[in-house]
């Protein structure tokens, strides 16, 4: 598609592009929306600057891509449960939400298509977000490793993140005031997903494991799985597969959660950061054999 209504400027060789010529506080005509969707599919994370949107306008934009998820463990805004505030207070002593490489909520049966994150308040410096292209990570694997991973299944769970003895539980016990995070036994549930998934719109294959939620391979013990998982986790975040986004108030990032990892860098102690996140539900992951 030739872009007529928007300008698309790549930010790295691996992934990511800034989109210019769009005011997301206003309804999008079909041509502009189609161009944004094309830029999203091609670049797998897109960025907008200098936006000024209400929670409802945030939802209006997200609704063009699908239905919304309501996070089961992190509270949404009053009156807008689909909009999750992602906050770190200036005096908070614990790491910010999302401060590790991950894909969002892959313990779901249908993990998100993507998340749309809007910056309301940002530190004067620090607080950038890193993104990694999991299609490139797959492409760079050897033919032998691809042959082994293609068709394999991994087990995902939120137990270590939101369970009763999890990181969130430790965060709450430490007195974090930044966000309201729930923990519970329901975080112990597991979900099976293909290790390599196919992206429907492009047909590309993506590595679909992450250190936060992927626990082991189906039919393998955790001890057997860990060496290969650690290799894949480290492989996926090689610098040549990544881009880095510096936030400022009014910025928006929209990433394809099916084929990216992201990492919110926790390097802004003493400064406040507030974002609003809307998450669009995706399809159940699948692997399409050649």
- Which residue matches tokens 């492409």? 139
Tokens of 171: 């965060």
CA-CA distance, 170 to 111, in Å (whole number)? 25
Residues 162, 73 contacting (CB under 8 angstroms): yes
Give CA–CA dist 225/220, Å, rounded. Answer: 6
Does residue 104 carry a catalytic annotation? Answer: yes
Catalytic residue among 69, 92, 102, 276: 102
Q: How does DSSP classify residue 98?
A: T
The answer to whether 222 touches 216, Cβ cutoff 8 Å, is: yes
Annotated active-site residue 92? The verdict is no
Residues 177-180: contacts with CB within 8 Å, 24+ apart? 177/89, 177/91, 177/92, 178/87, 178/88, 178/89, 178/92, 178/94, 178/96, 178/97, 179/74, 179/75, 179/85, 179/86, 179/87, 179/97, 180/74, 180/75
- Indicate if 128 belongs to the active site: no
User: Catalytic residue among 262, 263, 273, 276, which?
Assistant: 262
Q: Which of 58, 69, 92, 104 is catalytic?
A: 104
Report the distance separating Cα 181 and Cα 97, nearest Å. 10
Q: Out of 58, 193, 263, 277, which one is annotated catalytic?
A: 277
Is 156 designated active site?
Answer: no
Task: Please list the active-site residues.
Answer: 102, 104, 262, 277
């Amino acid at each position: 598609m030739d872009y007529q209504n928007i300008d698309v400027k790549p930010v790295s060789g691996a992934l990511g592009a800034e989109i210019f010529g769009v005011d997301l506080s206003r309804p999008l005509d079909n041509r502009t929306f189609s161009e944004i969707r094309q830029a999203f599919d091609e670049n797998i994370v897109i960025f907008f600057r200098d936006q000024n949107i209400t929670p409802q306008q945030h939802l209006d934009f997200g609704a063009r891509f699908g239905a919304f998820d309501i996070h089961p463990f992190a509270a949404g805004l009053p009156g807008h449960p689909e909009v999750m505030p992602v906050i770190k207070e200036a005096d908070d002593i614990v790491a910010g939400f999302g401060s590790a490489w991950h894909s969002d909520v892959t313990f779901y049966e249908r993990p998100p298509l993507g998340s749309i994150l809007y910056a309301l308040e940002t530190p004067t410096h620090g607080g950038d977000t890193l993104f990694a292209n999991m299609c490139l990570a797959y492409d760079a694997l050897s033919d032998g490793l691809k042959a082994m991973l293609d068709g394999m299944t991994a087990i995902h769970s939120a137990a270590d993140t939101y369970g009763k003895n999890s990181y969130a539980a430790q965060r709450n016990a430490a007195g974090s005031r930044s966000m309201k995070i729930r923990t519970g036994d329901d975080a112990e549930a597991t979900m099976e997903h293909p290790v390599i998934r196919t992206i429907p719109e492009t047909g590309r294959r993506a590595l679909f494991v992450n250190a936060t939620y992927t626990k082991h391979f189906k039919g393998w013990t955790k001890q057997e799985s860990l060496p290969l998982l650690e290799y894949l986790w480290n492989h996926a975040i090689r610098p040549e597969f990544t881009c880095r986004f510096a936030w400022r108030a009014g910025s928006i990032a929209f990433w394809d959660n099916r084929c990216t990892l992201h990492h919110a860098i926790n390097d802004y102690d003493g400064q406040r950061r507030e974002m609003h996140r809307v998450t669009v539900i995706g399809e159940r992951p699948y692997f399409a054999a050649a």
